Amino acid sequence: MKTQEFFKVLENNKQKSLLFEYAPNLLVGANYHITEVKHIVVDSVDCGAQTDSWNETIIQLWESPLEKGKTDYMSAYKALAILKKVGEMKAFDLESEVKFEYSNANFHTAQLFVNDFEIHGDNLILKLAIEKTDCKAKEICGIPEKIVEAAEKIVENVESCCSPSLGCC
């Protein structure tokens, strides 16, 4: 989801509580805070020697241990107010992908992208997902794309992207 789309979703649902589903049926606690907003410029080179660059907006969510029993979630209105204040200090690239950085005692720190959102009564639920790593230079490196599904895991049956025998790195 682009940053601009995220802002529109918040704007259209200001009266709703803002919930984040970081894994299927697992929600960030109601004690979360928006603790940091990062305006990231990614400037990369892949294993096929191709360059690329793009911007990302990373919003960090943190669960306060002092508010562990809290049951009322932040409103979309409050989140939008926080983000507008950030935008006054450091302008957003509205075309950048928005991601959420999050972890808890049972979930490793990850940058999660917005896979979808749902409205359930008075709740706006952002469905987050992990983006898997991938070889971006499969064609250049001659990597065949053979994907096998097994036990709900996707397993790539390919030689390593940066294998010395492929000569692409």
Q: Which residues pair with 129 in a beta bridge?
A: 113
Instruction: Compute how many other C-beta atoms are within 10 angstroms of the C-beta atom of residue 81.
Output: 13
Judged on CB neighbours under 10 Å (0-12, 13-18, 19+), 6 is buried
- Looking at the structure of the chain, the number of domains it has is 2
Residues 37 and 15 in one domain: yes
Residues 95 and 163 in one domain: no
pTM listed for this prediction: 0.83
**Per-residue pLDDT, 146:** 59
**Per-residue pLDDT, 150:** 33
Two tokens at 90? 């450091």
Residues 38 and 97 in one domain: yes
**Per-residue pLDDT, 27:** 97
Residues 141 and 116 in one domain: no
Residues 116 and 169 in one domain: no
Q: Which residues pair with 146 in a beta bridge?
A: none
Task: Return the amino acid letter for 80.
Answer: L
Residues 88 and 39 in one domain: yes
- Strand-pair category, 97-104 with 51-63: parallel
The answer to whether the CB of 143 falls within 8 A of the CB of 52 is: no
The parent domain of residue 162 ranges over 135-169
Residues 80 and 159 in one domain: no
Grouped pLDDT means (10 residues each) for the chain, 169 residues: 98 98 97 98 93 97 95 98 98 98 95 97 97 83 56 39 52
Residues 73 and 89 in one domain: yes
Residues 95 and 145 in one domain: no
**Per-residue pLDDT, 133:** 84
SS3 for the chain is CEHHHHHHHHHHCCCCEEEEEEECCEECCCCEEEEEEEEEEEEEECCCCCEEEEEEEEEEEEECHHHCCCCCCCEHHHHHHHHHHHHHHCCCCCCCEEEEEEEECCEEEEEEEEEEEEEECCEEEEEEEECCCCCCCHHHHCCCCCEEEECCEEEECCCCCCCHHHCCC
**Per-residue pLDDT, 159:** 42
Residues 90 and 10 in one domain: yes
Residues 16 and 97 in one domain: yes
Residues 139 and 125 in one domain: no
Compute the distance between CA of residue 55 and CA of residue 62 in angstroms, rounded to an integer.
23
**Per-residue pLDDT, 152:** 31
**Per-residue pLDDT, 168:** 55
The answer to whether the CB of 79 falls within 8 A of the CB of 18 is: yes
